[in-house]
Amino acid sequence: MSDLILHHYPTSPFAEKIRLILGFKQLAWKSVFIPMIMPKPDLTALTGGYRKTPVLQIGADIYCDTALICDVLEELAPTPSVYPDAVKGAARIVAQWADSALFTAAMAYNFQPTGVAQVFAGVPAGSVQAFVADRTAMRGGAARMASADATGTYKIYLQSIANMLHGQDFLFGVQPCVADFAVYHPLWFTQERTPALAGIFDDFPDIQAWMVRMQAIGHGKSGKCTSEEALEWARSANHEPVQNDVFEDEHGISLGSAVVIAADNFGLEPTEGELIAATRHRYTLRRTDDRAGTVHVHFPRVGFTLKKVSP
């Protein structure tokens, strides 16, 4: 197996979800820092367009979206599991809720004026404007949730999380599972990046104690690598075997077709390529790039649209 390369930046909550799972599974990994805003030419050379953070690279295989990255890490290192048998359905559903509803409310709370002042302290005005413009474009111009609405919603969600943690160390028992990592990352941003707003946790001592346990998991063993080295690895590596023995066709699009895949909510930059696998859970596209060579780019089905490229 080639090295695991995580393309990310330190302040990304979704990247923190994956860094902690790498630590939980004690996997060694390489770290490539990517820009926080577009353009990201070295990343999109690998993904073909997808720009969100993080992306996992294993040689010439590129995995987009943390839901899929969790599955890939589980296949590589099944123990300790992030999907324990007894709770795996509920854990996946809570994780999906956390990555969408909880994340949206928490980040709107974090980005109220006090939080913005902390996040951007010392950052030149031009870079702040560029960040705001990038994220506004990513949301298709839609406004963030109003901070008063976000605060009320975040408090209600925190109460539910506290209820789940009452009397046990982690959300579903004695071990952390995918739900813990997904619930933790937006709260981590509040705690680490906007500490002036972290008083919202004061009413929830069970959450505070759980956050200490989650943080203690750590990020495992990582080493730095450059985006040029990552591109070189993609060019020279073999692909993982393609999962084309199970083809689940929901679209009337056959394997071998030219297709385009994009996220279905925000950050809609599309990736175009040849559909070479479509299993129950994921799609794989083959595409060739001047700098990355021929790569296989993988997406989960949930949260993504698949369309045939019109001739």
* Contact pick of 99, 180, 240, 289 for ligand GSH (by CB under 6 A): 99
Query: Binding pattern to ligand GSH, positions 234-273, x when CB under 6 A?
Result: ---------------------------------x------
Nearer to ligand GSH, 14 or 181 (CB): 14
CA 179 to CA 193: how far, in whole Å? 22
- Evaluate whether 217 touches 188 at the Cβ level (below 8 Å): no
Cα 212–214–220 angle (5° rounding)? 120
CB atoms within 10 A of CB 74: 17
Is 52 a binder of ligand GSH (CB under 6 A)? yes
Query: Binding pattern to ligand GSH, positions 17-46, x when CB under 6 A?
Result: -------------------x----------
- Evaluate whether 210 touches 162 at the Cβ level (below 8 Å): no
Q: Which stretch binds ligand GSH (CB under 6 A): 65-73, 146-154, 192-200, 272-280?
A: 65-73
Q: Please report the sign of the dihedral spanned by the C-alpha atoms of residue 33, residue 37, residue 41, residue 47.
A: positive
To ligand GSH, the closest distance from the beta carbon of 107 in angstroms equals 8
* Contact pick of 14, 50, 109, 154 for ligand GSH (by CB under 6 A): 14
Is 57 a binder of ligand GSH (CB under 6 A)? no
To ligand GSH, the closest distance from the beta carbon of 68 in angstroms equals 8
Is 112 a binder of ligand GSH (CB under 6 A)? no
Is 47 a binder of ligand GSH (CB under 6 A)? no
To ligand GSH, the closest distance from the beta carbon of 95 in angstroms equals 10
Is 13 a binder of ligand GSH (CB under 6 A)? yes
To ligand GSH, the closest distance from the beta carbon of 141 in angstroms equals 16
To ligand GSH, the closest distance from the beta carbon of 252 in angstroms equals 26
For ligand GSH, the binding residues in 147-186 under the rule CB under 6 A are none
Burial 171-190, CB ≥16 within 10 A → b, else e: bbeeebbbbbbbbbbbbbbb
Q: Which stretch binds ligand GSH (CB under 6 A): 9-17, 89-97, 228-236, 246-254?
A: 9-17
* Contact pick of 30, 50, 58, 65 for ligand GSH (by CB under 6 A): 65
Contacts with ligand GSH by CB under 6 A: the residue count is 13
Q: Which stretch binds ligand GSH (CB under 6 A): 47-55, 86-94, 140-148, 155-163?
A: 47-55
Nearer to ligand GSH, 53 or 57 (CB): 53
Give the pair of three-digit tokens for residue 261. 């895949």
* Contact pick of 31, 53, 104, 147 for ligand GSH (by CB under 6 A): 53
CA 230 to CA 226: how far, in whole Å? 6
Is 51 a binder of ligand GSH (CB under 6 A)? yes
Binding site for ligand GSH (CB under 6 A): 12-14, 36, 51-53, 65-67, 99, 267, 303
